[in-house]
Every structure is written in structure tokens, then in C-alpha cells.
């Protein structure tokens, strides 16, 4: 994780001005991530998964910088529309869409409903028939072959997400009978947190081959393909960021091949953490430093309650801590610390063993790669500590930059 991309003065200024715990989003870093992705995937449109970070300021800003959204609940759908996104730019995924969710999707004319099971297509067809409309759908395919080097893997194993690749022809035969469902294309999101450039490129190639098989089996025109990219971010010390250097050739070849089938097919790359994750920091202040049985404890005002992922509890349990620094002491002799949050549970641990220059009460511990799966993916209300602030930092060329409080989550205790 490269903390150098951030202006440390603005991080400490944000903490002083707005208080801690705090999320700090650097719009410059976010913009660079988008540019990097666009450069590597020319011809693809970008789709952002709202679950990654639904902060309203970010969602509004993204409207002018990317093409479309993926939502996975009625709540996210209403939130996206409420924040100015036009519903035809929104796809609705999720394995547990209830009839009420499908009704909402149709009433709002979403761009597409992503079908995760045949029974869902049948329910949607029934609802669409009652309403006298045609539902535009994508079929989510659960590929048979898993990728190498993906931290999160869904392919090649039993999954609640999508329709198994080896059942496609059987399912297609049934979908063809549904007169109120129009199949617009296919969707794959089958893995994530990959930090290997070659494997990301291989993943695109294998998604394209699954799509080609599906297009052939379906046998009728389609106009949308969604490639869930699975790009990872360097959460841990020693991780290196993706360069995306292996992607441009692969991406342009896919676009070329797609256009040979039909110039009406649009390709989307669906991402989350790669855009916002590395653009965000989590900042927490040290409340106590104490020793217990030869371990040095650093006790902070925010931990698992604000940043579940950084405590290793999102997508499995990991004891590798996210990269972190002590903003008040960037050099000097290091000691080994256990960095914990404020909760009354030992699993509220940001780092079991981390070497940091001497830590004192009042110091700011800054955790990297925290812009994704942060506040809304954490048990914010457990033990009713203050909610984290969310602050964006934007800097025009040559200027010192501007901090803006974009907090939006409401405390539930009063």
C-alpha cells in the first residue's frame, strides 16, 4: 500500500477539523484509478458496484466519470435513484430478490435485472405479465472453472450466485418460454481480490470464452455482456498494486471479437474496490496505550465497529493486518504493537502484531485501502460508539486542496 499518494497534512487536518474515527476519501486517487481502468479497457464501459461504497457524495461524483451501476437490494436501488442516477443505467443483482424487489425494479424501469436462478426468471415473468411489461434481464453465469490467484473465488464450486455454466442449455430452454422476459445478455462476477496482472487478463479471456459458449447456446441476438473483473487492491504490507499492463491487448481483442458478432453488443467491466478502495483511508485516534503480559496494546477510538474488513472479518478470517502508519510518528525506532478498537470483544483487533514507530495517546493511526466495504459493511451500532465521519479531499492542480464533510449515516442511539 502506497501511503505516499496521500497528503498527510490534509489527513491530520481532517481529523482535527471533523474528529475521529474518520474515513478520508481522496478524489484525486479515485480519479487516477478510474483513468487507469479506462486506459486498460478501451471499448468497455465501467459499472460500479454500489455495495462497495454507497456514500452519496461519491455516487453523485461517479455519475460524471463512469457509465453505470450495479445495485443488490431495493435499498441500494432507491439510494442510487435518489442520488441522481437514471434507472436505465442500473442493473439489479442479488440472490434473494423478493417479489417486492422485482416489482420495484420493474416499476423503476431498471436497465436490467440480473437473473440468479431460473425460479427468479419465472417470478419476474409473472410480475411483468401482470404489469403488462417486458423485463430486460441478464443471466448471471456461475463458471465451471475457477481462476488462479483470486483471493475470493466463487467459480467451480457450489454457489448461490448465478446459474451453473453446465446447466445453461436446460435453463435457456425454459427462459425462452417466458414471454415477458427479454434476455439482453450475460453477466459474470465469479471472484475478486486478484493482485496478479496476468491472472486478471486470463480471467477476461475465460469470461469471454464462457460468454461465447452462452451466446452460441442462446442462439438469438443479445446486446450486453458484463465482465466482473475481480481486481484487487494492496491491503497488506508487501502487496503490490495491479499495473493492468497485461489487459489492454486482451481487452481490445475481446472488443474486436464481440463486434464481429454484433456491433450492438455493449461490454461492461464491473468493479468495486479497485476504484474506491485504495482511494480511502481509515483514521482512528489512540485513546490508550497499555502493556499486558509483555504485549504493547494501542487502543483506538474506532476498530471493527467501523472497519470490519480491516479487522479481518470480511470474507473469511485473516490475521494479516491492513497496512497502517502512525501519522504522528513516521520515523524512528519501531516497537511491536497490538492495535485494537474500542469494542468489548477481543476480535476487535486491527493488527495482532505490527511494527510502528513509538505510539502515544492522541496519535492518529491511519489504515490504508479502506475506501471500500467500510462503514456500511461494518457493525456500526454494536456498542453504540460514535459513527465514523466521512470526509472527501479534492485538490485542483496547484491548490492546497479542500476538505468536505460528506458523512451521511445516522446514529440509531440518542
Please report, as ranges, the residues that interact with ligand PLP according to CB under 6 A: 49, 51-52, 70, 93, 189, 192, 228, 230, 270-274, 372
Quick one: 185 or 341, whose CB is closer to ligand PLP?
Answer: 185
Q: CA dist 87 to 51, 151, 160, 299, Å?
A: 16, 32, 26, 44
In whole angstroms, the minimum distance from the beta carbon of 70 to ligand PLP comes to 5
Quick one: 135 or 142, whose CB is closer to ligand PLP?
Answer: 142
State how far Cα 289 lies from the chain centre. Answer: 34
With beta carbons less than 8 A apart as the criterion, state whether 30 and 36 touch.
Answer: no
Largest CA distance in the chain: 71
In whole angstroms, the minimum distance from the beta carbon of 21 to ligand PLP comes to 22
Residue with cell 501511503: 3
In whole angstroms, the minimum distance from the beta carbon of 73 to ligand PLP comes to 11
In whole angstroms, the minimum distance from the beta carbon of 332 to ligand PLP comes to 36
Quick one: 271 or 392, whose CB is closer to ligand PLP?
Answer: 271
Number of residue whose CB is nearest ligand PLP: 272
DSSP string, 100-135: HHHHHHHHTT-SEEEE-SHHHHHHHHHHHHHHT--E
In whole angstroms, the minimum distance from the beta carbon of 87 to ligand PLP comes to 18
Quick one: 18 or 48, whose CB is closer to ligand PLP?
Answer: 48
Quick one: 93 or 349, whose CB is closer to ligand PLP?
Answer: 93
With beta carbons less than 8 A apart as the criterion, state whether 259 and 213 touch.
Answer: no
- Return left, alpha or beta for 336; rule: phi > 0 is left, psi -120 to 50 is alpha, else beta: beta
213 burial type by CB count under 10 A (0-12 exposed, 13-18 middle, 19+ buried): middle
In whole angstroms, the minimum distance from the beta carbon of 33 to ligand PLP comes to 11
Quick one: 366 or 369, whose CB is closer to ligand PLP?
Answer: 369
- DSSP E strands, 145-211: 150-153, 163-164, 181-188, 191-194
Quick one: 15 or 250, whose CB is closer to ligand PLP?
Answer: 250
Please choose, from the candidates 32, 151, 45, 144, the residue with its C-alpha nearest in 3D space to the C-alpha of residue 91: 45
In whole angstroms, the minimum distance from the beta carbon of 333 to ligand PLP comes to 37
With beta carbons less than 8 A apart as the criterion, state whether 232 and 274 touch.
Answer: yes
Amino acid at each position: 500500500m502506497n501511503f505516499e499518494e496521500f497528503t498527510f497534512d490534509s489527513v491530520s487536518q481532517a481529523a482535527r477539523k471533523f474528529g475521529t474515527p474518520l474515513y478520508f476519501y481522496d478524489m484525486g486517487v479515485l480519479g487516477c484509478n478510474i483513468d487507469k481502468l479506462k486506459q486498460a479497457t478501451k471499448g468497455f464501459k465501467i459499472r460500479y458496484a454500489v455495495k462497495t461504497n454507497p456514500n452519496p457524495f461519491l455516487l453523485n461524483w461517479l455519475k460524471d466519470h463512469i457509465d453505470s451501476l450495479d445495485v443488490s437490494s431495493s435499498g441500494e436501488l432507491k439510494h442510487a435513484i435518489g442520488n441522481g442516477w437514471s434507472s436505465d443505467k442500473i442493473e439489479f443483482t442479488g440472490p434473494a430478490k423478493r417479489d417486492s424487489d422485482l416489482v420495484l425494479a420493474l416499476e423503476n424501469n431498471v436497465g436490467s435485472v440480473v437473473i440468479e436462478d431460473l425460479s427468479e426468471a419465472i417470478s419476474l415473468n409473472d410480475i411483468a405479465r401482470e404489469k403488462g411489461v417486458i423485463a430486460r434481464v441478464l443471466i448471471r453465469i456461475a463458471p465451471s472453472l475457477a481462476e488462479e490467484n483470486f483471493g475470493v473465488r466463487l467459480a467451480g464450486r457450489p454457489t448461490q450466485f448465478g446459474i451453473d455454466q453446465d446447466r445453461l442449455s436446460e435453463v435457456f430452454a425454459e427462459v425462452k418460454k417466458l414471454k415477458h422476459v427479454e434476455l439482453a445478455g450475460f453477466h459474470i462476477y465469479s471472484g475478486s481480490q486478484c493482485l496478479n496482472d496476468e491472472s486478471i487478463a486470463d480471467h477476461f479471456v475465460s469470461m469471454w470464452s464462457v460468454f461465447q459458449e452462452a451466446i452460441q447456446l442462446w442462439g438469438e441476438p443479445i446486446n450486453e455482456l458484463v465482465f466482473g473483473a475481480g481486481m484487487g487492491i494492496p491491503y497488506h504490507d508487501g502487496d503490490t498494486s495491479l499495473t493492468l499492463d497485461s489487459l489492454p491487448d486482451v481487452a481490445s481483442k475481446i472488443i474486436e471479437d464481440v463486434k464481429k458478432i454484433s456491433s450492438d453488443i455493449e461490454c461492461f467491466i464491473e468493479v468495486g474496490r479497485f476504484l474506491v478502495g485504495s482511494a480511502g483511508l481509515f483514521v482512528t485516534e489512540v485513546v490508550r496505550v497499555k502493556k499486558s503480559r509483555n504485549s504493547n496494546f494501542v487502543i483506538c477510538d474506532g476498530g471493527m465497529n467501523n472497519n470490519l474488513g480491516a479487522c479481518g472479518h470480511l470474507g473469511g478470517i485473516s490475521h494479516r493486518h491492513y497496512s497502517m502508519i502512525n501519522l504522528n510518528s513516521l520515523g524512528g525506532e519501531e516497537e511491536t504493537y497490538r492495535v485494537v478498537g474500542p469494542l468489548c470483544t477481543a476480535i476487535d483487533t486491527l493488527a495482532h502484531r505490527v511494527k510502528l514507530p513509538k505510539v502515544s495517546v492522541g496519535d492518529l493511526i491511519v489504515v490504508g485501502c479502506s475506501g471500500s466495504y467500510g462503514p456500511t459493511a461494518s457493525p456500526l451500532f454494536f456498542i453504540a460508539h460514535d459513527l465514523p465521519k466521512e470526509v472527501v479531499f479534492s485538490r485542483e492542480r496547484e491548490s492546497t486542496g479542500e476538505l468536505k464533510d460528506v458523512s451521511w449515516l445516522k446514529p440509531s442511539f440518542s
